[in-house]
């Protein structure tokens, strides 16, 4: 289990260094989302990614760490609110857990870019990092958490962060509604291409570096016997799963989707790498390399199923975050009892079947937890008309209407400013 109560974080300065590397996931997210939106909303995306870090810092400091890792009951912690009386030896754990809370709260923002109101953004960010994620983390990663006691196995939080965030994304995107020009009057889905694919690729590269630290850091220490071997195993499995899923996506789109046009879809490889990285989190410490490879293929196929369901519901997802997080996160939970050494596939038994049942059911409970809380939030926001920006603001772009700033401005040969296409 990650961040376990028995780990001595204070004995390992390297744990905090890994935490510092994990936070690089934030600029990775930012660059990817900046490239995915249109030029008229780039400043707003940059603003929200930075503000997310500050909001999640404050809410996790006030309530998040206490609810997650303070002494309490099986549902939540009840100690260290505002970090009052927090022992110095728990500071490294607190910082590392903050990076996880920030990631959990920033994932939904990419899904509802270009039409989400600032009030809605601040509300779900604060609620996720200060309440929803910490309580789910307490269930799984503390000695008296009820899922932990049942045997729920989620090493680096495929379920607690990713599947949970995926359900948050689904509620936010569905209740916010699609962008105005996402669907034609006859209901056909329109393609809104990203404005900067190079930014998206660079963001994906940075994300991969952060994800290696994300999974390896979940060991909790690096100086204890066996830590080095385990971290090496986690790192290799993370890279294998990401690479396998990326190649699976690339092959599927080239030889199935685009078999007649014969063009290679680079976005399929990037999304595939994300799915593989998300899925491997739960069991990266327990798989042999063949298990990581198998998971890379199966996670992308599961992603396609979720993506088809999302499109059927006419949910507008700017960055495919719903299908990546739910598809990768949930299949990652299922993979632990199936693909781990002495797991259900290689050693079928009553115990391994129970492990599968607990991970499958626990993942559903975690997703229902975040789904219900965010649904209540959006019911209130929609009642007061605070869930999205006005139609005129969305048409002009949030950069000018909310910030009075332009991300880009080009001039023609006569020196007259020319904006990029909206």
pLDDT per residue rounded down to tens, the chain (422 residues): 444 443 444 444 444 555 567 888 899 999 999 999 999 999 999 999 999 999 999 999 999 999 999 999 999 999 999 999 999 888 888 888 898 999 999 998 899 999 999 999 999 999 999 999 999 999 999 999 999 999 999 999 999 999 999 999 999 999 999 999 999 888 889 989 999 999 999 999 999 999 998 898 888 777 778 888 999 999 999 999 999 999 999 999 999 999 999 999 999 999 999 999 999 999 999 999 999 999 999 999 999 999 999 999 999 999 999 999 999 999 999 999 999 988 899 889 899 999 999 999 999 999 999 999 999 999 999 999 999 999 999 999 999 999 999 888 765 555 445 554 45
- Crossing angle of helices 321-339 and 266-280, in 10° steps, is 50
Q: What is the sign of the dihedral through the CA atoms of 302, 303, 308 and 311?
A: positive
Question: pTM, whole model, 2 decimals?
Answer: 0.91
User: How far is Cα 102 from Cα 108, in angstroms, rounded to an integer?
Assistant: 11
Token digits of residue 160: 């607690």
CB atoms within 10 A of CB 386: 14
Q: Give the residue from 142, 189, 183, 135 showing the smallest Cα distance to 372.
A: 135
Q: How far is CA 375 from CA 10, 175, 248, 251, in A?
A: 39, 8, 34, 37
């Amino acid at each position: 289990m990650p961040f376990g109560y028995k780990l001595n974080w204070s004995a390992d300065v390297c744990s905090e260094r890994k935490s510092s590397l994990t936070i690089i996931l934030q600029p990775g997210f930012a660059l990817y989302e900046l490239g995915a939106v249109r030029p008229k909303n780039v400043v707003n995306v940059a603003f929200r990614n930075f503000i997310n870090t500050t909001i999640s810092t404050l809410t996790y400091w006030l309530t998040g760490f206490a609810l997650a890792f303070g002494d309490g009951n099986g549902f939540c912690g009840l100690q260290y609110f505002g970090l009052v009386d927090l022992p110095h030896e728990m500071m490294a754990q607190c910082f590392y857990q903050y990076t996880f809370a920030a990631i959990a709260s920033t994932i939904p923002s990419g899904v509802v870019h270009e039409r989400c109101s600032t009030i809605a953004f601040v509300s779900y960010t604060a609620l996720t990092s200060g309440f929803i994620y910490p309580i789910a983390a307490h269930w799984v990663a503390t000695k008296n958490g009820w899922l932990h006691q049942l045997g729920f196995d989620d090493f680096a939080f495929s379920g607690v962060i990713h599947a949970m965030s995926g359900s948050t994304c689904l509620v936010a995107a569905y209740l916010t509604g699609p962008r105005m020009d996402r669907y034609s009057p006859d209901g056909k889905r329109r393609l809104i291409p990203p404005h900067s694919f190079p930014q998206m690729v660079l963001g994906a590269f940075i994300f991969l570096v952060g994800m290696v630290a994300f999974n390896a850091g979940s060991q909790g220490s690096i100086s204890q016997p066996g830590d080095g071997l385990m971290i090496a195993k986690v790192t290799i499995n993370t890279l294998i799963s990401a690479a396998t899923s990326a190649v699976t996506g690339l092959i599927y789109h080239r030889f199935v989707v685009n078999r007649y046009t014969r063009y290679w879809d680079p976005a399929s490889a990037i999304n595939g790498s994300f799915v593989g990285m998300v899925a491997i989190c739960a069991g990266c410490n327990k798989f042999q390399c063949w298990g990581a490879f198998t998971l890379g293929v199966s996670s992308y196929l599961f992603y396609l199923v979720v993506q088809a369901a999302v499109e059927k519901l006419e949910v507008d997802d700017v960055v495919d975050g719903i299908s990546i997080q739910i598809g990768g996160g949930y299949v990652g939970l299922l993979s632990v009892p199936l693909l781990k050494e002495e797991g259900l596939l290689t050693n079928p038994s009553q115990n391994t079947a129970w492990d599968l049942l607990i991970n499958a059911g626990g993942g559903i409970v975690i997703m229902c937890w975040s789904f219900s809380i965010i649904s209540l939030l959006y019911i209130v926001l929609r009642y007061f008309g605070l869930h999205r920006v006005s139609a005129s603001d969305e048409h002009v772009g949030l950069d000018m209407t909310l910030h009075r700033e332009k991300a880009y401005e080009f001039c023609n040969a006569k020196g007259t400013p020319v904006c990029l296409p909206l």
